[in-house]
Chains A and B, each alone.
Chain A
Amino acid sequence: MNELLEKLSLAVESGKINKMSPYPPAMKGLDGADELCQQALEAGIKPDVILNDALIPGMGRIGKKFSDGKAFVPEMLIAAKAMSAALKHIKPFFTSGEVKRKGVFVIGTVMGDLHDIGKNLVAMMIEGSGWEVVDLGVDVKPEKFLEAINQHPDCVIGLSALLTTTMVNMEVIVKQIRAHYPDNKILVGGAPLSHDFCKKIGATFYSADPQGAVEFLERSVA
C-alpha cells in the first residue's frame, strides 16, 4: 500500500490527531491524521481510496483491539477524534456524491431508558466504518423509529438498552418495526442482552460490542 495511506491509517488507529497533539507520546512531532489526509488528497489519491484503504481499516483495527480487550474506551474515543480530523477533508466529497457511504444506520436508546454512552460509542464506530448514522437519541418510542425508516427505507436499525426493565421495550419496538417493515435488519445491544434474547424478540443480530456490529454490517453489504 501507498506509504502515505499506511501512515494515515496508523495515525487513526493510534489516535494521532494532528502534528500538535501530544498523544501518543511515541509519535510526538509527527504529522497526524489531519495533515496526512490533506497530503494524500494533494498527492492525487482518490478520496474513496483514502476512506476505504486508510481511514476505515484504521478504525477497524482499534475496534478489534477493544473487542479483544486490548484497548479501552478512551483509546477508541481518541482514535475517533483522529478519524474525524481526517474525515473533515473527505466530507465535501460525500456532499458532491464522489464518495458514497455504505448505507444508513439508525440508532436509538429504547423508550424508558436514558443510558447512552454505549449507544454513542456504537454510533461513532459505525460512522467510522463508512456508514451514515442517524442518531435518534434516548427514550425513543416505536413511532420515531418507524418515521426514520420511512425516511431511510434501506436503513439498518440499532437498538440499545441497559436495564432488564427497559430491554423488554425492545420487543415492543421490534414487533412494530416488523409489522411495517419486515425486511429491515435490526441490531440490538447493551449490557443485559444476549443472543438468546435477540432471537426471542425477533431482532436480526446481537453484538456485545461495536466491532461485532461493524463486522455484521460489513457482511450485510458484501
Chain B
Amino acid sequence: MNTTAIKEISFEELLLTREDVIPLLGGKSDYAFLMHEYLDTLFEQGKQIFQIMGGYQVFDKLTFNLEMREIAIGEVNFEVKKVVFNMLKRSSKIAVFVCTAGDKIHELSRQYMAEGDMLKGYVYDLYGSLVVESAMDLVQQSLRLEMEGEGLEITNRYSPGYCGWTVDQQKKLFSLLNQNFSFVTLSDSCLMKPIKSVSGIIGIGHNVKYNDYTCHICDSTNCLYKNLKKHS
C-alpha cells in the first residue's frame, strides 16, 4: 500500500533566524551587518514571498539488487550506486519526496540582480535555498513521526545528483509520484521548477539508521553546507 502526505508549510514554522543565514555566506562576518536589512525584510515578508509545499509518497514494493547496487521501487529501477545503496539496503519501505519554496523568491532575487543590486539578489537566492532545505527538514520530521507510530526508523535523505546517483534518474523518480505532486515539475533536462526545489528518497525500516553527520560519506567538495551542523 502506498501512502501519500503533502503539506503546505508556513514560513513561520521554519523558525529561521539571522544566525541560520550568516554562516552560509562564508568567511568572517564583518560584512554581515550589511545583510541585516535584507534579512529583516525577508523575515517580515517571508509569509508573502514563500509558497512552501512538501510531501512524500511511501512505497513498500521494493527489490534490492546487491550485485548491481540497484533498488527497484515497484517496477521502476534505480541505479543508486554504492553510498545510497548501502544506506538504504535494509529498508522495508521507501519514501519518495519533493519539496519547494515556490517561484517568487527566485524572481525577486533576479529582479534585484537585474536592477544592479547583486548583493541583495545573492542574499535572497541563498535564503531561498535555506528555506527549501529547512522545509524539507520538517517534511522529514513528519515522516519520522508517522513511522515512529509504526515502530519504524528512517534514514537520511538522498537526492539524485549526489553520491554518484545521477540527476537524470529524477525522471524515474517523478514517474512514481501521483498527480498531487504537480506543484513541482521536471523539465526534459531534469531541472525542477520552481528552481528552489529538492527531490529524493528516504529509507524506512526496523534496521535502518539515521546519521547525524553525513558529510564524510558525500563526495561533494564545494557544498555550501559542508560541515555545517544544520544538514540532513
Contacts and interface: CB of A to CB of B under 8 A. Distances in A.
Interface of A: 15, 22-25, 71-75, 77-78, 80-81, 84, 111-117, 120, 124, 163-166, 169, 191
B118 A124 contact: yes
8 contacts: A24-B30, A71-B27, A72-B26, A73-B26, A78-B31, A81-B118, A164-B161, A165-B168
Given A164-B167, A165-B167, A74 B191 contact: no
Interface stretch (B3-11, B47-55, B92-100, B182-190): B182-190
A113 B193 CA distance: 11
Contacts of A120: 113, 118
A113 B30 contact: no
Interface residues of B, number: 27
A115 B10 CA distance: 26
B123 to A, nearest CB: 8
B122 interface: yes
B122 A74 contact: yes
Contacts of A24: 30-31
Contact of B25 (A72, A111, A163, A164): A72
Contact of B30 (A25, A73, A81, A169): A25
B137 interface: no
B102 to A, nearest CB: 15
Contacts of A116: 110
Nearest to A26: B30
Contacts of B189: 111-113, 163, 165-166, 169
Interface in B189-215: 189-191, 195
Interface string B103-134: 00000001001001011001101000000000
Contacts, number: 72
A71 B187 CA distance: 35
Contacts of B125: 117
B119 A78 contact: yes
A147 to B, nearest CB: 21
Contacts of B123: 74
A111 B123 CA distance: 25
Nearest to A76: B118
B25 A74 contact: yes
A160 B109 CA distance: 19
A113 B191 contact: yes
B17 interface: no
A109 to B, nearest CB: 11
A207 B27 CA distance: 22
Given A71-B27, A120-B113, A77 B119 contact: yes
A165 B190 contact: yes
Nearest to B117: A81
A126 B125 CA distance: 22
A110 B162 CA distance: 21
B185 to A, nearest CB: 13
Contacts of A164: 161, 166-168
Contact of A75 (B27, B190, B195): B27
A168 to B, nearest CB: 9
B188 A163 contact: no
Contacts of A169: 189
Interface string B14-44: 0000000000011100110111000000000
B178 interface: no
A15 B190 CA distance: 38
B222 interface: yes
Nearest to B120: A77
Given A112-B189, A165-B190, A166-B189, 4 more contacts: A72-B25, A73-B25, A74-B119, A111-B189
